[in-house]
Every structure is written in structure tokens, then in C-alpha cells.
Homo-oligomer: A and B are copies of this chain.
């Protein structure tokens, strides 16, 4: 963790350099680039956080060449955690994860002041960076002006670097390109996780922020190859919770320009990815985790486990692609 207070003048070169050496002593030149699973939060049968199983998962993930873990992305059921639980989960993950892996912690809340406080708490709990989802309840009024102000206040006060997070499927709101471009100038805003899957938008953002050092992360495995093609440097992919090595392999194929092989691998990942995200959601991800040797655990209510029929369809999406 590097304190923002160590910054002097808003010199663009220094900022760009810093953005690239963010947060972590190992491989600082990568910045936040790389593959992350947005980890699930296992619950006990009585719906309490199962910290033991959480740590076991983390220890297994530590052996995969991930850049780090995202804690409390949309798959982490963070809207179902209390303020205290959100921080406690981050603390446990940080403790269980080797220091050379980044912890990127979701700290977004609806109000600016709650997000500021949560970002501070996450940093104190050991997060290397915070991932801040767009507030969305009053989405009709969350225009660029409001969102730029929100993120600027959060980034000004956050002890650790901020990654913007746009996930319209959950929020009904896309962080506008002009807001991303403006915010990319902030020294403490280092990246954008974009889960919308609009590749034209991602290409435009990459193009318009190319001088700022902002790093673009694909928010889903379905368009990881395409995202790399237009300039992304990593991905936060629910599917990495179950097919982590494969996603790291896809990353390598893209980085080395082996597009033919990359296409073949990407093609086989799309349907399993859809199955654990928009088709069946978090419960499917947790069920699939069991098949691949991880602890999924229960979902917290009102999320429900899959029906038997759904579980069969889910399994078919993995078998027909040859992963099970």
C-alpha cells in the first residue's frame, strides 16, 4: 500500500509512472494489469460468512498466476454484507493471500460519504486498491457531472488507488465515456473495470485515455480476447473462480499475439461464462466452484440456489465445452 500523500505535483509523467507502479512491490511495472477472479463469499447453511472456507479458496487461488483477487465485485454478494462484514472479509483475504498478489476491494456505496469511509476501511484492512462501482439508485440523475464529482471526492481521500467500475447489468447505468476520460487525469484513479461488454466503447476509452496511464480491465471472460485486442491490459472475470488457469492462458495467448489459439480458447469459454453470470448468476458460480474443487457455499437470501433443472443446464454448458 502506497499513501496518496506521497504525491507531489500533478506532473503527468510522474502520475503515469506511479499509476504503473501502483500498490505492490512485485511486478510494479504491470500496474493493475492481469487476471483477477472476483471471488465469491461462501456462506454457512445459516447464511453467516464462512471465513474458513473463504481462506481455503484464497490459498488455492494463490497458486494460479493471477495478478490478484477482487474482493466484493458483483459476484461477492457485497450488497448483502453489513458494513462490518465487508471490511472483515477483506481483512481475511489479505491475511490468506501472499504479498505478491494484489487485493482489489469493492468499496462502492450509494452515498459519497459512505464510499469515502468504506475506502478508508478497506485500505486499513489491507486492500492494495479499491474498486468503486457507480452509485445507481437515482440513476436518472447520475450524469457525468455528478459521477465525476463523486469519484473525485473518493479518489482524493482514498489512501489507496481507485479503479472505476461500470456494470450496467446490475446498476442500469453506464459510466459515461466523457466521465471516464475526465477521471483518468486524476493521479489516484488508475483503472477501469468495464463489465458492459460494449467493445466500441472500450476501444474509444482506450483511445481517449491512452496518454493518462488509465488501465482498462475487461469485466467478463466473454469479451476478454476482444478487450485485449482494443487495448485492455487485464480482466476481472467471474469465470476465473472456476477456470482460472485457462483465463491466465488466454491472457498469455493475447499478450504474445497468438490470436488463432486465443480465438479457439476464447470460443470455448463464452458459454460457461454466460452460464455463471447473466444466465444463472452467483448461485451458478458457487455451484460450479464445487465441481472444480473450491468452496462455493450457500448464497445469502433472497438469492436462491439453482433448481435441479437449472443445475443440469449449467453442467451442460461446462461439459459441452469440454471443461467437465
Contacts and interface: CB of A to CB of B under 8 A. Distances in A.
Interface stretch (A52-60, A88-96, A147-155): A147-155
B226 A199 contact: yes
Interface in A53-112: 74, 79-83, 110-112
Contact of A197 (B172, B199, B257): B199
Given A79-B111, A110-B79, A303 B146 contact: yes
A243 interface: no
A198 to B, nearest CB: 7
Interface stretch (A9-17, A21-29, A30-38, A136-144): A136-144
A169 interface: yes
Copies of this chain in the oligomer:
4
Contacts of A141: 280-283, 303-304
A182 interface: no
Interface in A259-285: 259, 263-264, 266-268, 270-271, 274, 278, 280-283
Interface of A: 47, 74, 79-83, 110-114, 135, 137-142, 145-147, 149-150, 153, 169-170, 172, 197-200, 203-204, 206-208, 210, 220, 222-223, 225-226, 229-231, 257, 259, 263-264, 266-268, 270-271, 274, 278, 280-283, 300-304
11 contacts: A79-B110, A80-B111, A141-B303, A142-B302, A145-B304, A149-B302, A200-B274, A204-B271, A226-B230, A230-B263, A231-B263
